[in-house]
Amino acid sequence: MAAGYSLYSASTELILAFRSNDGSSTIIGFALCDGTFYLSRPHISCPSWGPFYSLNEAREPDWPEGLRQWIQDAKCGRLEHAQNTKYSSRYVCSLCADVHRTLLKGGWAGNPRPHLRLLYEAAPMAFLCEAAGGRGSDGTQDILDIVPRQLHDRICVFLGSRLDIDRLETYGDVQQGSKKYTN
């Protein structure tokens, strides 16, 4: 029904998404100024595609072939939907910061390893993305369609622009195996 995050750096922002009684969703942002939050982003809309992707490129040697090919095609401007735009990597290593930039500028942020927790990391951020017109996927299906089995289920996560996530899924083999985490 609702999700949000707070982000601080040069400014402090509070981003909230909620579902109305009619089933529609909206996402808005507030900026902190002199101890008061003011509505600063009355309607956040995620661009339908790029020009950024965000993931830990230090793990590239372990990436599956589909993910490796999407990144190569993005860097070379070969994504059909992106009008020959050459994508570049932007990675802060903070889920909120990376998704925030993605909501405003386009592209996707994520982790191809099953690292993030479905219920309290992946699903809330996917809800925010969908409220802004984007998508949240585990690389094969919408995150919000995944039924949790346990409280701490971990999944792969790709969050951002609808066309970028749609295209990424067509590459197949974008989920990276990893060590098993203990809950």
Taking only the tens of pLDDT, the chain with its 183 residues reads: 899 999 998 899 999 999 988 988 999 999 999 999 999 999 999 999 999 999 999 999 999 999 999 999 999 999 999 999 999 999 999 999 999 999 999 999 999 999 999 999 999 999 999 999 999 999 999 999 999 999 999 999 999 999 999 999 999 999 997 555 555
Q: Is the pTM of this model over 0.75?
A: yes
Provide the residue ranges of all domains of the chain, joining segments of one domain with +.
Answer: 2-41, 52-170
User: How many Å separate Cα 37 from the centre of its chain?
Assistant: 25
CATH of 52-170, one of 3.40.309.10, 3.20.20.140, 3.40.190.80, 3.40.50.880: 3.40.190.80
CA-CA-CA-CA dihedral for 89, 95, 98, 100, to nearest 10: 160
Q: What does the DSSP assignment read for 20-42? A: -TTS-EEEEEEEEETTEEEEEES
